[in-house]
Amino acid sequence: MRTIKNIAVLTSGGDSPGMNAGIRAVVRTGIYNDLNMFGVLRGYDGLVKGEIVPMDAKSVANIIQRGGTILKTARSEEFKTYEGRKQAYENIKTLGIDALVVIGGDGTFTGASKFIEEFDIPIIGMPGTIDNDLAGTDFTIGYDTAINTVVDAVDKIRDTAESHDRVFVIEVMGRDSGLIALRSGISTGAEAVLIPELTVDYDAIMKRLDKSRKNKSSRIIIVAEGDKEGGEVVADKIKENFPHYDVRLSILGHIQRGGRPSCMDRVLASRLGVASVEGLLEGRRGEMAGLICGQVQFTPFNKAIKHIDKINENLTRIVEILSL
Ligand code: ATP
């Protein structure tokens, strides 16, 4: 087995709350094991441009509670080319870096797989995305914080919706996955949740809205941004069906990515950070560290990036049952 002495960590793709806790765990686990640790700025872009800095225990002090990523993140077109990846390899070779930990989503792991294949670099991945759309882990780092941000915002909108007897259509993040919409919908008592994984039954939704009129003065419909029609169209359709309703649209946007990571995300990132470095030292590569049923497990990148459908039909049923 090859000896690893120098490890670099980077964050890539969209940022998510808890990435800092992950960076901290990777750096400190490395130092605990007498390794030299480095941070790559701006994801693969920094790898290609050689923006790589040494990191010590102090450089990750007081960051576990901070949202975003101190290493910054970016999308890199150059890293998608062989020439870009070759340049990245030259840069890490010059610094003597033996292995990488990459924190990101499916694109990040696809890039990592190619880098391993072409340049024989051990890489372990950590799932850092608010969408929770990776296989090989029950939850991704950032998802729990993001749904709590959504719940907080929807609760506030519910207050004003209730005061004015309004129907609010609220669009939340989730380009390919309705998990943010579904869980936040259940926990805010939404009357309906529209997600990309399921075809919308408009008739059923309209009936439900009409029926709930006798019990409720406000109505909340949560729409995932990846839903085939999106919040604006849904709001227009409700207005068409119920011209007397006061229908408003609210798109929550980027607040869902920011904020202090929840306790759950901090613990998840800490556990996976430790596991990633220990995994590399045990000779692992090309795998993502994840948590399944409370246990750390490693899943090959090619399996982790499959967008498995984590939609539990029981959850969609719950929305309907409880929306009376
Ligand atoms: P998120 O789920 O938050 O969007 P992600 O990791 O999927 O995160 P992407 O922008 O898709 O985010 O990917 C991050 C980076 O990974 C890209 O900017 C690119 O540098 C690299 N990457 C993505 N796809 C490939 C690919 N097919 N080949 C090489 N590199 C890739």
Q: Collapse the DSSP code of 147 into the 3-class scheme (helix H, G, I; strand E, B; otherwise coil) and give the result.
A: helix
Would you say residue 318 lies in a domain? no
104 Cβ below 6 A of ligand 1? yes
* CATH number for 299: 3.40.50.450
pLDDT of residue 272: 98
83 and 179 inside one domain: no
Nearest CA to ligand 1 atom 18: 75
- Cβ proximity of 48 and 140 under 8 Å: no
Contacts 24+ apart (CB under 8 A), 311-320: 311/178, 311/179, 311/182, 311/195, 311/197, 311/198, 315/182, 315/183, 315/186, 316/182, 316/193, 316/198, 318/186, 319/182, 319/185, 319/186, 319/190, 319/192, 319/193, 320/208
Would you say residue 106 lies in a domain? yes
pLDDT of residue 308: 65
C-alpha of residue 208 to centroid of ligand 1, in Å = 40
Nearest CA to ligand 1 atom 25: 111
Determine whether 155 is an active site residue.
Answer: no
Would you say residue 53 lies in a domain? yes
C-alpha of residue 133 to centroid of ligand 1, in Å = 14
97 and 183 inside one domain: no
Q: Which residue is listed with tokens 């990633």?
A: 276
Would you say residue 87 lies in a domain? yes
Would you say residue 315 lies in a domain? no
Ligand 1 pocket test, pick from 10, 11, 12, 71 with the greatest ligand atom count within 8 Å of Cβ, gives: 12
C-alpha of residue 113 to centroid of ligand 1, in Å = 11
Q: What range defines the domain where residue 224 resides?
A: 144-257
* CATH number for 204: 3.40.50.460
- Cβ proximity of 77 and 271 under 8 Å: no
CA-to-CA separations, 111 to 48, 60, 81, 99, 108, in angstroms, rounded? 12, 26, 10, 15, 5
Is the CA virtual torsion 47, 48, 54, 59 positive or negative? negative
Give per-residue pLDDT as tens, 116-170: 999 999 999 999 999 999 999 999 999 999 999 999 999 999 999 999 989 999 9
301 Cβ below 6 A of ligand 1? no
13 and 52 inside one domain: yes
322 pLDDT above the threshold of 90: no
Ligand 1 pocket test, pick from 79, 103, 109, 117 with the greatest ligand atom count within 8 Å of Cβ, gives: 79
Catalytic one among 45, 98, 131, 133?
131
> Virtual CA dihedral for 267, 271, 273, 276, nearest 10 degrees?
-160
- The structure tokens listed for 306 are 């499959």
Mean pLDDT of all residues in 220-249: 92
Q: How confident is the model at residue 184 (pLDDT cuts 50, 70, 90)?
A: very high
Give per-residue pLDDT as tens, 276-290: 999 999 999 999 999
E strand or H helix that includes residue 273: helix 263-281
C-alpha of residue 270 to centroid of ligand 1, in Å = 23
pLDDT of residue 144: 98
Q: How confident is the model at residue 189 (pLDDT cuts 50, 70, 90)?
A: very high
Atom of ligand 1 nearest to the CA of 78: 20
Overall number of domains in the chain? 2
Give per-residue pLDDT as tens, 194-224: 998 888 788 888 888 887 777 788 899 999 9
43 and 126 inside one domain: yes
Whole-prediction pTM? 0.95
Tell me which of 208 and 114 has the higher pLDDT: 114
